[in-house]
A and B are shown apart, each in its own frame.
Chain A
Amino acid sequence: MRTSVQEMIAQSKGKKNKKFIEKIIPWILLLIASVSVLTTIGIVLTLIIETITFFRRVSVFDFVFGTTWLPFSNKEELYGILPLIVGTLKVTLIAVIVAVPIGISAAIYLSEYASETVRRIVKPVLEVLAGIPTIVYGFFALTFVTPLLQTFFPEIKIFNAISPGIVVGIMIIPMIASLSEDAMSAVPRSIRDGALAMGSTKFEVAWKIIVPAALSGIIASVVLAVSRAIGETMIVSLAGGSTPKFDGDFAGSIQTMTAYIVQVSKGDAGYGTTIYYSIYAVGFTLFLFTMLMNILAQYVSKRFREEY
């Protein structure tokens, strides 16, 4: 007759290595997890150190408040970042104008109107849209959207803010739609029923109950999308041009922070030159912008989260 199960358990419990493994596993996991955190810290540190080097040569005041960005000048190099920020904001503004209404409408449709079948087809399609390489979007902007715009508005130049703005908008639509849809779908059925039982139409329920109830999630999705638009690189490099301008012109060539970094990185700025360090300063500025946006998104979704 074999030994009882309880005896076998008692025997295997005696083995010491099991306890040992249990003890070291958390440490191993912590080590692996800290790789990503340490990498992030490393990147930020590099960014900060090189930025400091830059500011030894260019005053912070000139950088932050200067309205001329002229790093390739033969005479005096000017590093006022405002033109690059303005270029970024132009693209972001157009992207938001395009993406927010479409993204939120799509989310309302998917969450409140679409049948299960439609939702099952459309959601993966949206995710495919999110998976298109941005270089493809860039070519789309340059070779399709810009000529299309030019047929209607001849004053638009080959490089401009509108075309990349629209295409960046198209790029972030899936993000807004998908995250907003998640937020709306999370509103309990019972609340919809309550509103419908009051004699509300479907649209009244969607617009007056569901959207406000999901507002924190919707705003967070928009802020995250804006953060992506600010950081978007390929589309604006290809279709935006490389003319840093401090003005309100959307039809002509611009330059964004990201496009400037690309321009210098692929160009021949030697190591140790001011231009070389300037990309770190611009990168750091960009980092501040996107980080602020992400913190804002987190704050909004926590602070204004509805409980139900």
Chain B
Amino acid sequence: MTTIKTALTKKEPVQKTDKKSVYLTKQLNLWYGDNHALKNIDLDIKENEVTAIIGPSGCGKSTYIKTLNRMVELVPSVKTSGQILYRDRNIFDKDYGVEELRTRVGMVFQKPNPFPKSIYDNIAYGPRIHGIKNKKILNEIVEKSLRGAAIWEEVKDRLDENAYSLSGGQQQRICIARALAIEPDVILMDEPTSALDPISTLKIEELVQELKKDYSIIIVTHNMQQAARISDKTAFFLNGEVIEYDDTDTIFSNPSDKRTEDYISGRFG
């Protein structure tokens, strides 16, 4: 079944209308105390695409991506209204456990944050807490995830070493592998390259292109060139609102809103 699916998506040209929604955001509002951080957000994010979220600092892009796996609720005094449908189910429903949601939706953070454990244990952590104990299966998962994150060749002989012995770029790919290990449906990336050097950044960008075959990726970036290079769709956030959301090509070549044009041409932000 999956092979047929991947074969189809590979052969056919990208047809936006055919793709299913993975995240459907309806009239989302969010407040940090009195600060109205997200205002009436409506976004339809499709599966197996890279969706970039761009905008100046403080525009709410990080807040929005953290709302998608409800990590934002770790901040005290956060209030939300509206709906986010993940695969047709409202993530704010009372009976929707955050653990269940976060098992389906992986996340990669701004600063690499591997666990202070061995490389192997970092990757095996997710499968283990979700009940996979078989050593052989774990070995397979670890190798597959590290290959998936394009770091297997670099670390295969040092899986017992602490993840903090790696460089920043390698650590970030470990974090991606860690997310891949539970084979999530969506991967959220919150400025994953902002703490990395250009070469590591390039590696991560190439990786994102690979990963979108199997995963839906939502990436927040402050780097407009990066959004243009790697994403299929781009949403431009400003002051907590979505100003424009369209195909990346359209956003960067022919934006319909003056503010989008000003931002991408570097007039502010």
Give the residues in chain B near A14, CB-CB below 8 Å: none
Contact at A194–B102, with CB atoms within 8 Å? no
Contact at B109–A190, with CB atoms within 8 Å? yes
Which size class do A's interface residues fall under? 20 to 34
Contact at B114–A196, with CB atoms within 8 Å? no
Give the residues in chain A near B125, CB-CB below 8 Å: 195, 198, 208-209
Selected contact of A199 from candidates B103, B109, B162, CB within 8 Å: B103
Contact at A191–B115, with CB atoms within 8 Å? yes
Q: Is B117 an interface residue (CB 8 A)?
A: yes
Selected contact of B115 from candidates A195, A199, A201, A307, CB within 8 Å: A195
Contact at B102–A199, with CB atoms within 8 Å? yes
Of B51-59, B82-90, B174-182, B217-225, the segment with at least 4 beta carbons within 8 Å of chain A is: B174-182
Q: Is A101 an interface residue (CB 8 A)?
A: no
**In the assembled complex, how far is the CB of residue B146 from the closest CB belonging to chain A, in whole angstroms?**
16
CB proximity to A under 8 Å, residues B80-118? 98-103, 106-107, 109, 111, 113-117
Q: Is B202 an interface residue (CB 8 A)?
A: no
Contact at A201–B71, with CB atoms within 8 Å? no
Q: How many B residues have CB within 8 A of the partner chain?
A: 28
Contact at A197–B129, with CB atoms within 8 Å? no
Instruction: Return the CB mask of B57-90 against A: 1 if under 8 Å, else 0.
Output: 0000000000001010010000000000000000
Q: In whole angstroms, what is the CA distance A196 to B97 when docked?
A: 12
**In the assembled complex, how far is the CB of residue B145 from the closest CB belonging to chain A, in whole angstroms?**
12
Q: Is B135 an interface residue (CB 8 A)?
A: no
Instruction: Return the CB mask of A285-308 against B: 1 if under 8 Å, else 0.
Output: 000000000000000000000111
Give the residues in chain A near B99, CB-CB below 8 Å: 199-201
Q: A194-B109, A308-B164 are in contact. Are A199 and B116 (CB under 8 A)?
A: no
Give the residues in chain A near B168, CB-CB below 8 Å: none
**In the assembled complex, how far is the CB of residue A215 from the closest CB belonging to chain B, in whole angstroms?**
10
Give the residues in chain B near A257, CB-CB below 8 Å: none
Q: Is A270 an interface residue (CB 8 A)?
A: no
Contact at B117–A212, with CB atoms within 8 Å? yes
Give the residues in chain B near A196, CB-CB below 8 Å: 71, 74, 102
**In the assembled complex, how far is the CB of residue B168 from the closest CB belonging to chain A, in whole angstroms?**
13
CB proximity to A under 8 Å, residues B143-195? 162, 164, 175, 178-179, 182
Q: A199-B182, A208-B125 are in contact. Are A213 and B69 (CB under 8 A)?
A: no
Q: Is A247 an interface residue (CB 8 A)?
A: no
Q: In whole angstroms, what is the CA distance A212 to B174 when docked?
A: 19
Instruction: Return the CB mask of A180-209 against B: 1 if under 8 Å, else 0.
Output: 000000011011011111111100100011
Give the residues in chain A near B178, CB-CB below 8 Å: 194, 198
Q: Is B130 an interface residue (CB 8 A)?
A: yes
Contact at B113–A198, with CB atoms within 8 Å? no
Contact at A191–B100, with CB atoms within 8 Å? no
Q: Is B126 an interface residue (CB 8 A)?
A: yes
Selected contact of B102 from candidates A191, A198, A213, A308, CB within 8 Å: A198
Contact at B126–A198, with CB atoms within 8 Å? yes
Give the residues in chain A near B101, CB-CB below 8 Å: 199
**In the assembled complex, how far is the CB of residue A37 from the closest CB belonging to chain B, in whole angstroms?**
35
Q: Which of A191, A197, A307 gathers most chain B CB within 10 Å?
A: A197
Residue of B nearest to A209 (CB): B115
**In the assembled complex, how far is the CB of residue A178 from the closest CB belonging to chain B, in whole angstroms?**
22
Contact at B130–A193, with CB atoms within 8 Å? no
Instruction: Return the CB mask of B199-219 against A: 1 if under 8 Å, else 0.
Output: 000000000000000000000
**In the assembled complex, how far is the CB of residue A181 from the closest CB belonging to chain B, in whole angstroms?**
18
Selected contact of A198 from candidates B74, B100, B117, B179, CB within 8 Å: B179
Residue of B nearest to A116 (CB): B76
Residue of B nearest to A195 (CB): B115
Give the residues in chain A near B102, CB-CB below 8 Å: 196-199
Contact at B115–A194, with CB atoms within 8 Å? yes
Give the residues in chain B near A213, CB-CB below 8 Å: 115-116
Give the residues in chain B near A204, CB-CB below 8 Å: 129
Q: List 11 A-B contacts (CB under 8 A).
A: A191-B116, A194-B114, A194-B178, A197-B107, A198-B102, A198-B129, A199-B98, A199-B101, A199-B129, A200-B99, A201-B99
Q: Pick the 10 closest A-B CB pairs, nearest first.
A: A199-B103, A197-B107, A190-B113, A306-B116, A199-B102, A194-B113, A213-B116, A199-B99, A198-B126, A308-B116
